[in-house]
Amino acid sequence: MPENNMEQKENTVKEVMSLIYKENLWGGKNEPFYSGSGSHKQKIVKPYVRSITKWLASFDEKLVVCDLGCGDFNVGRQLVPFSKRYVGIDVVDALIKRNKTIFNEDKLTFHCLDIIQDELPEGDCAIVRQVLQHLSNEEILTLMPKLRKYRFLVVTEHLPFSQFIPNINKSTDYDIRLGKKSGVVLTEAPFYLNPIKEEKLVTIGFRQRSQISTTVYQNF
């Protein structure tokens, strides 16, 4: 018996992410949009926000920040005051419409964009928080040239605690590479990001002997 169309073809990132929110695959059964424990669990959010705000505040001139995959904006809203201008980007139309309604500040804008396919806004810094872990290697490779135009990349990924083989490929979906005992590391094959400076900002221990690690890469 033939499978339905959603199963027969490889879905776009927009279709995948829209389905995740529609079916609450990241939790939040009583909420229309919920970006998962990584955006709401205080054990994760508090140290992350503390570290990122301290880093952003260290610049004499505030940075223009592009939040690639801003989700429900529970985290991003706490970073806006420390930016010169803050751009929230996500691929799910209804989510961006919801964010525009709830979060309204002069220096904050939202755009519905596919970070893989679309041109990205100009800025000093791109925040990519627990986004790449859901994408296939092919999609990350397509994204990489766009990330190099930002002076700073602030990348957060969920990784195994112990030594692991980085960047084992997976399909784009709600899950991450932990089940394959892997995680995304942009400086390793096949991505080969070559920053002039790399700084680990914060590492948070999490369940299943894993860690949520945030690194700042300086491209130029």
Q: Domain for residue 16, yes or no?
A: no
Cα(211)–Cα(133) distance, integer angstroms: 13
Helices 93-102 and 13-22 meet at what angle, rounded to 10?
60
Per-residue pLDDT of the chain (220 residues; tens, 9 = 90+): 334 443 444 689 999 999 999 898 998 877 778 898 889 999 999 999 999 999 999 999 999 999 999 999 999 999 999 999 999 999 999 999 999 999 999 999 999 999 999 999 999 999 999 999 999 999 999 999 999 999 999 999 999 999 999 999 999 999 999 999 999 999 999 999 999 999 999 999 987 689 999 999 999 9
Q: Domain for residue 19, yes or no?
A: no
Residue 165: CB partners within 8 Å, gap ≥ 6?
Answer: 181, 182
Cα(187)–Cα(171) distance, integer angstroms: 21
pTM: 0.92
Q: Domain for residue 72, yes or no?
A: yes
- Counted domains in the chain: 1
Amino acid 37: pLDDT: 84
Q: Domain for residue 79, yes or no?
A: yes
Q: Domain for residue 198, yes or no?
A: yes
- Which of these, 148, 173, 144, 178, lies nearest to 160 by C-alpha position? 178
Q: Domain for residue 174, yes or no?
A: yes
Q: Domain for residue 22, yes or no?
A: no
Amino acid 6: pLDDT: 38
For the chain, what is the largest distance between any 2 Cα atoms, rounded to a whole number of angstroms? 63
Cα(98)–Cα(116) distance, integer angstroms: 22
| Joined tokens for residue 196 | 């002039």
Domain holding 169, by residue range, is 38-218
Cα(153)–Cα(25) distance, integer angstroms: 27
Cα(163)–Cα(166) distance, integer angstroms: 9
CATH number at residue 112: 3.40.50.150
Q: Domain for residue 44, yes or no?
A: yes
